[in-house]
């Protein structure tokens, strides 16, 4: 594609050089530049890629989009904000693949992953070809791409959407993070349906306060971004959205809603309930425990209903989803006790999972968890207090300490636990902590291993070491 063609979609301030050059690819990472690339520079929070001009041009970039004049031998397209141009250029370069797909975007603090996988199962049961983009990776048409970000950066996102369209995918279900909304990584996509699950404390290391975090979530519902909306009527931000969002279908258990559930029965092996889907009734069987999965199922059902899928097919699709990796996943049984792995890494997520398991536990409820390093520190004591409040015994350990000292993180968690006066233990090494917790188990007990979910690594000092809670647990018990 000629650079001149792409520039139709760029907010240009000045052009220096020839725009009749052929563009073979788009790049924003100087380490990945290829011959014929258009490189887009921007000043990030920690790094300014304008500094990399020598490397960028040496490796073959034929043009750059930049925020200031540079000393380089290739065509320069000067813009006000380089980051803001990335999605515009990517969308055009890949020939607007989003227009060939019906895309549902799911945003919220918790529930995004499970809701997307429920949607995938429902639409597959309806005979549709689907793709999923999110925390557990990207999957479609027998292909799988390992996860990097909840919502991929625009260049990669649009390249994937283009391949999905080429492969015959009809529906795409993607998680949309608050960061992606804030940076407008999803610029240009008009979602068939925009889903809001909830808004509770997370990412305050980036957003600073709940007001700004909620404001980022609201960007999912700005004019022109969606055709239909599905909103949780039991969430405070959801209630605020309902009054301003057009074409909204609501779901909930406490406040009036278009979609709700009754006769909910929970067990460690799943949940049953009667779904009222805009006045259509059907019994639903989930292989996933906990009331918060009833909420996820209601959101997915509402989306499917908007696509014209029959309630019987919705029920079939939900029942065919056996598990979602690391989402309150029952992974093993030991000494007559059940062991669950869950991604719960926020105060609200941990509380909901522990509350659900507490109702099902006939013995002692154990909770093993930690908090990530270089992230929102304010939630650490809150999670400590939450874990102690709802479990009988806590084992505090490392999560992804990143560049922080694990002992410092654990100490901040302990401050919350000590408020409750409950007994607990700290074991810094996660694998050793997991074995310790498993050896405590007796018949009818439940152990929740929380925080990492389906992750296959533990990040320590910038290095991602191979680590998976499920694998570690099975190795310990010899399964």
Task: Give yes or no for a contact between 248 and 268, defined as CB atoms under 8 angstroms apart.
Answer: no
- 203-210 long-range contacts, Cβ below 8 Å, gap at least 24? 203/178, 203/179, 203/375, 203/376, 204/376, 204/378, 204/379, 205/374, 205/375, 205/376, 205/377, 206/179, 207/178, 207/182
Rounded mean pLDDT, 52-80? 93
pLDDT of residue 45: 67
Residue whose tokens read 């650490």: 380
Rounded mean pLDDT, 90-107? 98
- Say yes or no to pLDDT of 161 above 80: yes
pLDDT of residue 3: 97
pLDDT of residue 47: 78
Helix (H) or strand (E) holding 329: strand 329-334
Q: Which two tokens stand for residue 422?
A: 């409950």
The length of the chain is 479
The span from the CA of 124 to the CA of 479, in Å, is 31
pTM of the predicted protein model: 0.96
The tens digit of pLDDT for each residue in 427-473 reads 999 999 999 999 999 999 999 999 999 999 999 999 999 999 999 99
Determine the angle formed by the axes of helices 112-125 and 291-306, rounding to 10 degrees. 50
pLDDT of residue 54: 85
Strand ranges, E, within 360-445? 365-369, 393-396, 424-426
Rounded mean pLDDT, 337-351? 98
Would you list the DSSP string of 55-68? HHHHTT--EEEESS
The tens digit of pLDDT for each residue in 124-138 reads 999 999 999 999 999
Contacts (Cβ under 8 Å, ≥6 apart) of 321: 117, 118, 121, 286, 287, 288
The tens digit of pLDDT for each residue in 1-28 reads 999 999 999 999 999 999 999 999 999 9
The span from the CA of 376 to the CA of 49, in Å, is 27
Q: By CB neighbour count within 10 A (0-12 exposed, 13-18 middle, 19+ buried), where does 96 fall?
A: middle
- Say yes or no to pLDDT of 100 above 90: yes
Answer left, alpha or beta for residue 17, where phi above 0 means left and psi between -120 and 50 means alpha: left
The tens digit of pLDDT for each residue in 208-247 reads 999 999 999 999 999 999 999 999 999 999 999 999 999 9
- Say yes or no to pLDDT of 296 above 70: yes
Q: Over pLDDT 90: what percentage of the chain?
A: 95
Task: Give yes or no for a contact between 250 and 279, defined as CB atoms under 8 angstroms apart.
Answer: no
The tens digit of pLDDT for each residue in 164-182 reads 999 999 999 999 999 999 9
The span from the CA of 317 to the CA of 126, in Å, is 8
* Number of DSSP helices (H) and strands (E) in the chain, helices first: 16, 24
Rounded mean pLDDT, 69-81? 94
Q: How far is C-alpha 200 from the chain's CA centre?
A: 14
pLDDT of residue 242: 97
The tens digit of pLDDT for each residue in 331-343 reads 999 999 999 999 9
What rounded mean pLDDT belongs to the chain? 96
Among candidate residues 310, 318, 264, 270, the one with its CA nearest the CA of residue 114: 318
């Amino acid at each position: 594609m000629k650079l001149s063609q792409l520039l139709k979609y760029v907010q240009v301030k000045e052009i220096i050089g020839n725009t009749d050059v052929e563009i073979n690819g788009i790049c924003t990472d100087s380490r990945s530049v290829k011959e014929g690339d258009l490189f887009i520079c921007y000043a990030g929070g920690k790094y300014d890629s304008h500094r990399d001009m020598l490397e960028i041009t040496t490796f073959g970039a034929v043009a750059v989009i930049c925020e200031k004049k540079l000393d380089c031998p290739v065509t320069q397209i000067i813009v006000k904000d380089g980051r803001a141009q990335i999605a515009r250029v990517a969308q055009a370069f890949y020939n607007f693949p989003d227009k060939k797909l019906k895309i549902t975007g799911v945003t919220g603090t918790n529930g995004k992953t499970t809701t997307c996988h429920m949607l995938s199962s429902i639409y597959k049961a309806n005979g549709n070809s689907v793709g999923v983009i999110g925390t557990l990776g990207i999957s479609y048409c027998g292909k799988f791409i390992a996860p990097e970000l909840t919502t991929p950066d625009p260049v990669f996102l649009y390249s994937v959407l283009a391949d999905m369209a080429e492969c015959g995918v009809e529906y795409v279900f993607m998680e949309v993070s608050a960061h992606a909304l804030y940076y407008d990584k999803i610029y240009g996509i008009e979602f068939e349906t925009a889903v809001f699950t909830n808004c509770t404390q997370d990412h305050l290391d980036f957003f600073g306060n709940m007001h700004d975090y909620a404001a980022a979530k609201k960007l999912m519902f700005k004019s022109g971004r969606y055709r239909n909306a599905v909103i949780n009527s039991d969430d405070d931000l959801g209630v605020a959205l309902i009054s301003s969002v057009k074409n909204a279908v609501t779901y909930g258990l406490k406040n009036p809603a278009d979609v709700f559930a009754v006769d909910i029965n929970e067990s460690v092996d799943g949940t049953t309930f009667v779904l009222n889907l805009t006045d259509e009734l059907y019994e639903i069987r989930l292989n996933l425990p906990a009331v918060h999965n009833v909420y996820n199922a209601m959101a997915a059902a509402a989306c499917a209903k908007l696509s014209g899928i029959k309630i019987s097919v919705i029920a079939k699709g939900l029942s065919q989803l056996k598990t979602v990796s690391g989402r309150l996943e029952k992974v093993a049984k030991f000494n007559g006790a059940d062991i669950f792995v869950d991604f719960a890494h926020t105060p609200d997520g941990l509380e909901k999972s522990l509350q659900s398991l507490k109702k099902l536990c006939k013995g002692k409820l154990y909770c093993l968890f930690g908090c990530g390093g270089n992230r929102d520190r304010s939630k650490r004591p809150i999670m400590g207090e939450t874990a102690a409040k709802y479990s009988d015994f806590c084992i505090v350990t490392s999560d992804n300490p990143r560049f922080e000292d694990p002992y410092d993180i654990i100490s901040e968690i302990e401050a919350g636990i000590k408020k409750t006066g409950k007994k607990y233990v700290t074991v810094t090494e996660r694998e050793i902590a997991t074995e310790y917790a498993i050896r405590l188990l007796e018949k009818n007990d439940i152990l929740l291993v929380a925080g990492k979910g389906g992750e296959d690594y533990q990040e320590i000092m910038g290095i991602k070491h191979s680590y998976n809670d499920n694998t570690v647990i099975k190795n310990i018990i010899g399964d």
